[in-house]
Structure 1
């Protein structure tokens, strides 16, 4: 232990006090030993340090900070160095606001396009996500503070995220859902990891010995701090035993007492607590060093805004350019249509909301861009309401223009933390607008703003399509610079765009609605499924157009990697993202058709040729063998392809790789869906064969009384009439608020009330309601109204007396 001398001077009470927050965002301090509290703040794409009363939902405004493009946007840059640069600027702002731990980046896989928080995650590919995340972490931590990679692990839906049990086989867990975290820990050297809310194969992630101890600590040699997601602690002592040091936010000393009692009873060894204290102290002392000497309390707002613009420019994806409608020629008359041009959709909603220092607006930026503007019309109501008058005015303006710039996408209430999307469509009123404009002016360039994949049945009615994703406070100007040709687009998609939602691999098993969610598609997510099952897609993984062309040639390969030549064969300088995919030619072990194992972004002037090398690493040929319970290499020939996307193969070669002679893990005859790759509708029997055990019952047991880990939504079948009435009131409030257009408020009810487990009422109220009071609430819920009410009042009185005595 690093801090044995300090720990020996501490009482058990002091040690326990360090295991949970002092308030909503700060850790506990111990003044007599010189241990300061440290500050944790949301910040995957900008610092969200709240000036007023703290909350976790983005209700209260935070201090101004640069709003960089979200992770889903930056992922399209495929530039690990750019990720590190963003991290450096985020770290600088965190120091200026005296933040010790920046809660990000988020690196959960995009298992399904409808996950409401996909805007905050990088990719559907773990190698890609891990490499960019490692860059972020290095940049943030270069300032001496800590990044906090999240949410560990398999947190891939927002609905019922605090109680859902994720059922996934071990190989898929390792290869798909943990690999990005492994890279973040081993290459990024993150000092902090945030555990997720959900359960994994029957145990909450922060209590999951296999995940927290055996993999994170023992295999990956992680020696940093694990912090719960806010309100994400279930059994505090079990979490501590698993290696989850810090519980956030404060529980006003309630769980500290649980730890002390567990030590006194012998349930918890004091050495386990000491180990946790040692890690917490290391985080406190190492991140406080920067604040123990003079540090900058301000940052250059203009410079940081410029960097946000550069990041957006490199992350925007050109998806269609029929007839080279882009870049716009000089003198072209342009009509700007769409509410998002005036009120940009530039970030997601929930705990990552940033209060931007500046916010570029298309209408203001267009004036100095050199574009000949004939005017602007909003064209549609932002939140989906039909308005024929706005469509008519937009069509009248479109008739006056040579080209229409149509700004469309998803609104803030559709993509939000705590909620999943209901479908993959953009609102019908926007499509109606597009249809109407097409009739009067077919020269349409659509600018799409959203943080996840959408269906595009309307794509034949646009000649140009630029996808800006959620591109931060400087995104509007970045888009215009690409439209004008001042910047050559170089982004490529970090997720596949299916033709329709029904084509997606998890369609039949997303989201889990009651007790559990089954990952029956196994490793076949994203392009791994579409390519293996030969499913037609709208845009493949890794796709993106440029204003120039690139030629690939002269592939050479040895045991260390691949070398080839890349030439800019067009007339415009630009950047190309070369992607390396690996395919095993053996069919003894089921695998996707190909998997991304390397990539490189290269800048080339017209006519320039560069020799590009993409090395092999420890992840290039490995697979996880469930019989040996370790990583193995299958002896076989492997096809190495270099491509401009997952399906646009430019070069190919084969290499023989010696294996580790591990036994075959599967009986091929019993897993036909997985060996064929057509794994989007696997039977329960076949999934159980893959799992090696029975799947748990996925529906609620309505005969049992409701308990701590049941949700408020389950009050619909509670024995207590008061609870059923409360449920109906909540449901009605949600419906009514949506009906009158208060969608964001309606969303908050779903996010912070409807799907909240009862234990969350105690964990998220900072000690206002404690667990004994919660016992009384559950009595009321389960039909013992008066007994429960007396219990609540009695425990409330007892708590107030204790608090008064402590003061």
Structure 2
């Protein structure tokens, strides 16, 4: 029978037939990316794939080229649920099928307590309503294409440092109104097929064994989803099974193997019946996948890449729609290429490979357009373009993917694999495999060749650097999860083997980068060789030479040595000689990544100095910033035009150019607040883990709610974004409350919206609620409860924008009775283009007859 025939299986009947051994096997994964199969009963395996901003497939190392979407913060900045649903259905679901995956491990909808969070870029917003509605659209779109989603990380996983141990101490009310709300909205409107638990503890108990799984997710919300762990996020056998965690992932170094779990049954710490309950949820999940994507289950399992003009256009559209115009003095933008003779492009991100944040979001793009290439292409051949880096923005030296060739001229270098001998670190015998590798940042993980017979192995990498045009002092950087040495023309240049420095690379398993400088001669093909072993070396104070069995990695980077002062002077000169200067700066996947948090909101190195000096050299300077979360901009007043572009994926350069040259009228609005300084962030002073405890002391006042409450002006407010046109708001109408089936209450709101400018534009209308001032309970001054994106409004055109508010728009979590509650009194209804510019204000009064309490959805 075909694997997809499981779509017609009688699950209760199959569960009854399961042996205890089969039941235990089903509740843990196999390898890194699959569930367990049981051929005897026709139960197929299901493959999953990482997917925050694209579907990578099985391998970090030598992966299948894929479409990389904008970061989640960028998707949130579109405020366009229709567009996100389309992206899910037309881009993500087909990509999963191309990777032979039935499930995407996404979306991430944790709350951004602080922009310092390493994975802030991977979550949609600081606001739970925006985050939840975008997440629901994402889930709905993907699952309409027959592919499952895994919404994550449930819950309170809002930083990276110490993530497997820290205890998020969150008040019951903040937990419900802020941190659970995005998941609840996704469950209410889209019903994800699975949930992923977070690594951390919540109020004392790890999420993989927390009562919240049964009490809230299953009990109150009535979710039928399967619940899986994050990778290596299980810390017990019986506790996690009894708590309702259905599937442990991955299936390597797992807790739920036969001996441990059967002993737990014998000890009556868990029952066979409970194990079968968990197995039943896994089987229900497998059946949904069989029904949704039978072609995936019945296919050959091979990963493929496919590109089309339609896909490229949609990628470019969603990227452009997310870009936020922050400042535009004297209408400097949009640019008219026909009126320009010379343009200076400056900045460390202009030509850099800045695709997405790091970690699970990483993938190999099927194509990439840099900001420089996108802008230069839009300018055409009649405009002179000058360029200099100006100031470095990278944390580790850039990969050499495009600098190395094999002796036969292919892109990349030759990798040769050997088994190691008894000493664990010396290659013995003949090579077991030789292959061309077209990447120099290699998270090998579980992708070492199957031909290796020893768990200890050596990888030798050798290639030639493309000749330089002039003699160049060149700095190499070597980072490893294991140990390695770098040789150039046979001479040792970097030793990251003998004595190492433990670092944060490779999900915290790797070293700090070690560097060395070599003179590269003009016109010479220098030979580069790296010898890597998957056993880490000793470090000062840490002699443990651990085997990197599932986490091996090696990264070679490099760049010419520069004189930082001369680079900035060159940038000033080029800017002064140009009609317009465009500065492209920001962060990258080294700064914002899974595994560790940022320590500052400042741009790297001398970037701020560069921007300030270029702005002084040319009064027509446009600053384009790239980051997945907030950054500070001390040069804000000096820059006449500022565009924030997030991480935009494959179409980065083209989408930026579309906005700069007016092909797209920007309509994105900030999905998080940009503070003036780190000290203004609501979680400042209590964001870190204190001996394993994180106190969410800002409570309800996350993001814009804090800034409004303490009357602190941010750099850029939540929901803010400019356009090349203008809009007027008028005629606010608010209905009296009425009863609504299922929702308990309905309040209808309408207003007039008019394009008062001269070009077609789209506007995001935001509605905020304020609670009665007579309340004895503390409430934020204004809370986002509805939004709508009106697209392509013509000059002079007027539209009526309508909202219907439900019970959650006017409720709060009453801690004394553990229920959602509505109070009597006068509620404010505020509507406008951003959280700090609410142009229309009205009110609605709720009488005693409108008040009620409830649990569940």
Task: State the TM bucket, normalised to the shorter chain.
Answer: 0.7 to 0.9
1:582 equivalent in structure 2: 769
**Secondary structure, in 3 states, of the residue corresponding to 1:180?**
helix
1:475 aligns with 2:652: yes
2:246 equivalent in structure 1: 245
Question: What is the distance in 2 between the residues matched to 1:400 and 1:251?
Answer: 59
Question: What is the distance in 1 between the residues matched to 2:227 and 2:23?
Answer: 16
1:45 equivalent in structure 2: 53
**Counterpart selection for 1:593 from 772, 781, 793:** 781
2:662 equivalent in structure 1: 485
1:123 equivalent in structure 2: 125
1:745 equivalent in structure 2: none
Q: TM-score, normalised by structure 2?
A: 0.74
1:305 aligns with 2:494: no
Shift of 1:505: 1.2
**Counterpart selection for 2:790 from 595, 602, 621:** 602
1:407 aligns with 2:584: yes
Shift of 1:293: 4.4
Question: What is the distance in 1 between the residues matched to 2:785 and 2:751?
Answer: 16
Question: What is the distance in 1 between the residues matched to 2:286 and 2:772?
Answer: 50
Contact 1:119 1:451 in 2 (8 A): yes
- Structure 1 or 2: more strand by fraction: 2
Q: Cα–Cα, structure 1 residues 485 and 424, in superposed 2: closer, same or farther, change >3 Å? A: same
**Secondary structure, in 3 states, of the residue corresponding to 1:508?**
coil
Shift of 1:100: 1.3
Question: What is the distance in 2 between the residues matched to 1:64 and 1:618?
Answer: 45
1:655 aligns with 2:657: no
Deviating above 6 A after TM superposition, structure 1's stretches of 4 or more consecutive aligned residues are: 294-297, 660-663
Question: Map of 1:78-227 to 2, 5 A cutoff?
Answer: 78-88=79-89, 89-209=91-211, 211-227=212-228
1:352 aligns with 2:541: no
1:567 equivalent in structure 2: 754
Question: What is the distance in 1 between the residues matched to 2:374 and 2:781?
Answer: 45
Query: Residue deviations 1:140-199, cap 9 Å, x none?
Result: 111222100000001111000000011111011000000000011121110010000000
Shift of 1:395: 1.9
Contact 1:344 1:476 in 2 (8 A): no
Contact 2:237 2:255 in 1 (8 A): no
Question: What is the distance in 2 between the residues matched to 1:96 and 1:443?
Answer: 45
Contact 2:305 2:366 in 1 (8 A): no
Shift of 1:342: 1.0
1:635 aligns with 2:824: yes
**Secondary structure, in 3 states, of the residue corresponding to 2:345?**
strand
1:10 aligns with 2:12: no
Q: Cα–Cα, structure 1 residues 7 and 518, in superposed 2: closer, same or farther, change >3 Å? A: same
Question: What is the distance in 1 between the residues matched to 2:15 and 2:845?
Answer: 54
Question: What is the distance in 2 between the residues matched to 1:503 and 1:261?
Answer: 52
Question: What is the distance in 1 between the residues matched to 2:253 and 2:726?
Answer: 61
Shift of 1:344: 3.9
Contact 1:192 1:227 in 2 (8 A): yes
1:369 equivalent in structure 2: 378
Shift of 1:606: 0.4
1:398 equivalent in structure 2: 575
1:36 aligns with 2:47: no
Shift of 1:511: 1.5
2:235 equivalent in structure 1: 234
1:380 aligns with 2:388: no
1:419 aligns with 2:596: yes
2:413 equivalent in structure 1: none
Contact 2:391 2:605 in 1 (8 A): no
Shift of 1:292: 3.5
Query: Residue deviations 1:476-496, cap 9 Å, x none?
Result: 111111111111000000111
Shift of 1:662: 7.9
**Secondary structure, in 3 states, of the residue corresponding to 1:537?**
coil
1:262 equivalent in structure 2: 264
Query: Residue deviations 1:271-299, cap 9 Å, x none?
Result: 22222111101111221235544899664
Contact 2:37 2:43 in 1 (8 A): yes
Question: What is the distance in 2 between the residues matched to 1:314 and 1:254?
Answer: 45
Q: Cα–Cα, structure 1 residues 596 and 290, in superposed 2: closer, same or farther, change >3 Å? A: closer
Contact 1:327 1:484 in 2 (8 A): yes
Shift of 1:386: 6.6
Question: What is the distance in 1 between the residues matched to 2:253 and 2:362?
Answer: 27
1:317 aligns with 2:324: yes
1:614 equivalent in structure 2: 803
Question: What is the distance in 1 between the residues matched to 2:577 and 2:831?
Answer: 46
Contact 1:548 1:572 in 2 (8 A): yes
**Secondary structure, in 3 states, of the residue corresponding to 1:248?**
coil
Q: Cα–Cα, structure 1 residues 543 and 87, in superposed 2: closer, same or farther, change >3 Å? A: same
Question: What is the distance in 1 between the residues matched to 2:356 and 2:235?
Answer: 31
Contact 2:53 2:72 in 1 (8 A): yes
Question: What is the distance in 2 between the residues matched to 1:50 and 1:358?
Answer: 19
2:35 equivalent in structure 1: 27
Question: What is the distance in 1 between the residues matched to 2:253 and 2:772?
Answer: 58
Contact 1:165 1:201 in 2 (8 A): yes
Contact 1:345 1:450 in 2 (8 A): no
Moved more, 408-417 or 107-116: 408-417
Question: What is the distance in 2 between the residues matched to 1:487 and 1:286?
Answer: 39
2:70 equivalent in structure 1: 69
**Counterpart selection for 1:429 from 606, 625, 649:** 606
Question: What is the distance in 2 between the residues matched to 1:597 and 1:176?
Answer: 12
- Structure 1 or 2: more helix by fraction: 1
* Ranges in structure 2 where 5+ consecutive residues have no aligned partner: 1-8, 396-561, 738-746
Shift of 1:440: 2.1
Shift of 1:631: 0.4
Question: What is the distance in 1 between the residues matched to 2:837 and 2:563?
Answer: 40
1:516 aligns with 2:693: yes
Q: Cα–Cα, structure 1 residues 260 and 643, in superposed 2: closer, same or farther, change >3 Å? A: same
Shift of 1:382: 3.1
Question: What is the distance in 2 between the residues matched to 1:291 and 1:540?
Answer: 42
Question: What is the distance in 1 between the residues matched to 2:233 and 2:174?
Answer: 24
Question: What is the distance in 2 between the residues matched to 1:437 and 1:647?
Answer: 31
Question: What is the distance in 1 between the residues matched to 2:73 and 2:200?
Answer: 22
2:474 equivalent in structure 1: none
2:467 equivalent in structure 1: none
Query: Residue deviations 1:70-110, cap 9 Å, x none?
Result: 10111100001111112111011101211011000100000
Question: What is the distance in 1 between the residues matched to 2:682 and 2:350?
Answer: 34
Q: TM-score, normalised by structure 1?
A: 0.79
**Secondary structure, in 3 states, of the residue corresponding to 2:257?**
helix
Moved more, 433-442 or 650-659: 433-442
Question: What is the distance in 2 between the residues matched to 1:536 and 1:439?
Answer: 26
Shift of 1:454: 0.9
Query: Residue deviations 1:208-234, cap 9 Å, x none?
Result: 11x111100000001111110000001
Question: What is the distance in 1 between the residues matched to 2:706 and 2:358?
Answer: 29
Shift of 1:365: 2.7
Q: Cα–Cα, structure 1 residues 4 and 497, in superposed 2: closer, same or farther, change >3 Å? A: same
Q: Cα–Cα, structure 1 residues 438 and 634, in superposed 2: closer, same or farther, change >3 Å? A: same
Q: Cα–Cα, structure 1 residues 344 and 322, in superposed 2: closer, same or farther, change >3 Å? A: farther
**Secondary structure, in 3 states, of the residue corresponding to 1:154?**
coil
Q: Cα–Cα, structure 1 residues 2 and 505, in superposed 2: closer, same or farther, change >3 Å? A: farther
Question: What is the distance in 2 between the residues matched to 1:461 and 1:46?
Answer: 37
Number of matched residues?
Answer: 655
**Counterpart selection for 1:543 from 716, 720, 741:** 720
Q: Cα–Cα, structure 1 residues 383 and 96, in superposed 2: closer, same or farther, change >3 Å? A: closer
Shift of 1:339: 2.6
Moved more, 151-160 or 233-242: 233-242
